[in-house]
Chains A and B, each alone.
Chain A
Amino acid sequence: MSAGVKTEVEIEAGRQRLRLWVTSGPGLVWIMIFLLIPSAVLLGIAFFSSNDYGSPVLPLSVQSFQQVAGYSLLGWDPGNIIIFLRSLKQAGIATLVSAALSYPLVFFILSRPESVRPLLLLFIVLPSWTNQVVRTYAWMELLGPNAPVSWVAHLLHAVPPDLGLAPGSFAVTTGLAYNYLPYMIVPLYASAEKLDWTLVEAGRDLYASGARLFWHTVFPQTLPGLLSGVIFVAIPAFGDYVVPQLLGGDKALMIGSQIANQFTETPDWPYGAALTIIMLVFTGMGLVGFRILTRKLGGAEEATI
């Protein structure tokens, strides 16, 4: 009797597994075929040599990684290291700027009546729903040589006359912060919304000044949101392509453009693939580092699949 019950349970389990496969299988297989396999191919290409057309050929080699490190027939060149450092710097500043702007904006929204908050949030997120190219070239116009912002910069002798703030590294930082601001605002808002105001009141009762009140009661409570925001901004900003391409010019080359060049203008696929690997390693280290930090600081894990 017990054996019969067991098989029935087993049959049911098998049926459930079949249902799982029928429903979630197509989507998972789709992503595997059209993303996981292609990215594995891309990473694999880094270990091939390149022929005269920049296509991957045997034998396997680590020549492309030497190229990334700056070694070539002409000797050592720090170009890539500069590009990496510049990308880190741009992403770092853009993240700082968006965090600094997000705090007042988030608490401004929270200081408004509950009924208008969704609308205020919507108007922050809205610009990011317009196309990447459109919202980035808009900054080309705003910071370009003939726009008022550049006239002010001329008066302050920040840029030479006839030149605008775009293209340049200031424009790239601005463009990145503008593009990814909502990615900071949304997680920060989510954690600020749950803020325990009694702690703030307690601090006020103890005569804490405004800055100390913020630093000791508000900041620790919003830290999980801030850290998620840092990840959401820093990672895509680091590898961004459109912003440095349109706003950067030649002197503000970032890693994204450097990679893309190896697949478009002057093809060298293995070299480009090796650059991609190094970029992903950086990204992965940042991601893991921040996850560990978030856990240590007691950040709540979001409910996920």
Chain B
Amino acid sequence: MIPRGVRYALSGISWPLYALLYTPLALVAFYSFAPAPNQAGHSLHAYGVLLHDGAVFTALRRSLILAFGSAITSTALGTLLGYGLCRFRNANAKGVLAHIPSLIIYTPIIMPGLVFGISELIFFNFVHSATGFLGAGLQTMIIAHITFQVPYVALTVFARLAGLDPYLFDAANDLYADGIKSFIHLIVPVVQPAIIGGFLLGITLSIDDFTISFFTAGPGSVTLPIYIYSAIARKGISPEINALGTMMIGSIILLAIIHFFITRHRERAGQLTPTGKIA
């Protein structure tokens, strides 16, 4: 298909580009091994400092609560949403009104993160001053994170269901499975890869996000990205920040590779293929 000369040229361009993609990340790791003050060479000094920093662990705990709390909720809401829109699409309104669900679902995806974050900031501000509920903090961050994850989970589940044989549902009906039974025994197992994929996507989105977190956070809800951002703004990049960044980069890369090989192994074993989660 592609002539040999062009293939060589493509390789010659692409391998350096791959290297370039990882150069900044590698540099963070390199600087994290900076020696302790007044010493030469490389050391794990920054990691030692990090291990004794209580603020970092508090931020890590909050980040994990935020990621898992929002991903679990959005997986539940998004799975139901994707399922309902696919299974009962005939019951949807006709005409212009039929587009309302997809309009609602695509808004969080299209909306720039900054507008998203500031909208939430103002909304929570108003709600808090009017009712005393929803003061800025981890709770408002979780709500915002759920909001941007739900559409992705719904679309993943929808895509999986839309690719199914519609007669499966009829078959379940013929076997006297009612709605709830067929949901638990037919839909959930069949859609399970998409649900897991959606959940992991939700966690990835939550860990990746800074802008929306930044505008919905309160004084007592500093998560890891906010911790790093304000540390850089205050006193620039330090070896400790690099050590923290290295660990965050490393764990994401490790998780992604493990997930990749697990799904590939499953596919090879002839099980259901999960829907693509590249975004």
Give the number of residues in B that approach A within 8 Å (Cβ atoms).
Answer: 90
A-B contact count (CB 8 A): 259
A291: min CB distance to chain B, Å:
12
Write the residues of chain B forming the contact surface with A, with a CB cutoff of 8 angstroms.
1-2, 6-7, 9-11, 13-14, 17-18, 21-25, 27-28, 31, 77-78, 80-81, 83-88, 90-92, 101-102, 104-105, 107-108, 110-116, 118-123, 126, 143-144, 146-147, 150-151, 154-155, 158-159, 162, 179, 204, 207-211, 215, 224-225, 228-229, 232, 237, 241-242, 245, 248-249, 252-253, 256-257, 260, 264, 278-279
- From B116, B232, B249, A35 is in contact (CB under 8 Å) with B116
Q: Mark A212-251, 1 if CB is under 8 A from B, else 0.
A: 0000000000000000000000011011111000100000
Give the number of residues in A that approach B within 8 Å (Cβ atoms).
Answer: 86
Q: Please tell me if the beta carbons of B101 and A24 are within 8 angstroms of each other in the complex.
A: yes
What separation, in Å, do the CA atoms of A190 and B201 have in the docked complex?
A: 19
Name, among A127, A131, A259, A304, the residue most crowded by chain B CB atoms within 10 Å (CB to CB).
A131
* In the assembled complex, A290 has its CB within 8 A of some CB on chain B: no
- A276 touching B115 in the complex, CB below 8 Å, given contacts A132-B208, A263-B215: yes
Q: Smallest CB-CB separation from A255: which chain B residue? A: B114
Q: Can you list 5 A-B contacts with CB-CB less than 8 angstroms, sorted by A residue number?
A: A119-B260, A124-B18, A141-B28, A186-B279, A305-B158
Q: Which residues of B contact A17 (CB under 8 A)?
A: 88, 91
- A27 touching B77 in the complex, CB below 8 Å, given contacts A22-B84, A305-B105: yes
Q: Which residues of B contact A38 (CB under 8 A)?
A: 119-120, 122-123
Q: Smallest CB-CB separation from B11: which chain A residue? A: A108
- A28 touching B81 in the complex, CB below 8 Å, given contacts A129-B256, A138-B25: yes
- A27 touching B154 in the complex, CB below 8 Å, given contacts A107-B10, A135-B24: yes
16 further contact pairs, Cβ within 8 A, besides A35-B120, A125-B278: A24-B83, A31-B150, A34-B123, A35-B119, A39-B107, A122-B257, A122-B260, A124-B21, A129-B208, A130-B25, A130-B248, A133-B210, A141-B237, A239-B112, A263-B121, A305-B86
Name, among A30, A128, A133, A235, the residue most crowded by chain B CB atoms within 10 Å (CB to CB).
A133
Q: Please tell me if the beta carbons of B119 and A41 are within 8 angstroms of each other in the complex.
A: yes
Q: Please tell me if the beta carbons of B112 and A142 are within 8 angstroms of each other in the complex.
A: no
For chain A, residues 108 to 138, give those with C-beta under 8 angstroms from any C-beta of chain B: 108-111, 118-119, 121-135, 137-138
